[in-house]
Amino acid sequence: MNKLAVVAFGGNALLRSGQRGTIDEQEANTHATSERLLILINKNYDLVITHGNGPQVGNILLANTAGAAMHGLPDMPLDVSVAYSQGFIGYMIEQQLRNVLKAHDLERDIITIITQVLVDREDPAFLNPTKPVGPFYTKEDADKISAETGSVFKEDPRGRGWRKVVASPQPLAVLNQKSIAKLARAHEIVIAVGGGGIPVFFVAENKLQGIDAVIDKDLASALLAVSINADKFFLLTDVPKVCLNFNKSNQQAIDRMSVKEARRYLVEGHFDEGSMGPKVKAAIHFATHSGKDAIITSTDMLGVDNGGTRISVV
């Protein structure tokens, strides 16, 4: 019987620092990442792939804004923009992975599932929007848009301008998780929970509705991995191992962390919320609720024995 792995693609797997984000660049990056997945496939892992969408959904929002300004087109809400990005990124991963499989004489169906994720409308995160989305604006333009739409803007800490911020609520349940598990266990490759999933809530009994929010894709991926009883959870990023004192003279790479140690390092401030923090929290969630290992590593080290940082219960 095959093992089941959930592999969360980090932004670097699709779009790398310094690139413009052309489709050619993204396809080349996706193809390279797909080549690494062969290692897991050859180790008899069934696969569920999740992915981020930060740059892509930002471009969609920017296109919406431009279209509204130039042609009077209706602006699309954030949940619809996330759905757009799931379709386009899923298509890209599906195509490039299929190309890789065919080049190695492997045959698998690859299915992209547009995934909704349930959140709580009363989540405290809605009172304190923190997740930046979309393009940068001047203070004057940000104030104008805020006055017209009620959107909240915050200044970028690196001085690049002002960006809209939205809530990032906790994911409660991944919809269609039974179908995701059934397809994956049937040896099909499933792409799901793109960008953390489309955030939805029950506006009334038995009535779902989208909401203006962004769910952390690593935490949503961890929730899915637990729900479908995955054997391994891989979180791909742009460094081979998690480090203490990152980018300092006393930087120290970590081979293995217990959940207790990982929580202590979080409290001590080793893992920034804008980079490694969400991945460590997602790994803690998976290890705690499944009793199995989560591995944080770079794309180049995926599937390598003793590669990456392993987070386990003990």
Active-site residue set: 11-12, 131, 217, 279
Q: How far apart are CA 214 and CA 195, in angstroms?
A: 8
> Tokens 């799901």 label which residue?
192
CA distances to 99, 118, 125 from 221, in Å: 25, 13, 19
Q: How far apart are CA 201 and CA 148, in angstroms?
A: 25
The answer to whether 204 touches 265, Cβ cutoff 8 Å, is no
Residue 237 burial (10 A CB sphere; 0-12, 13-18, 19+): buried
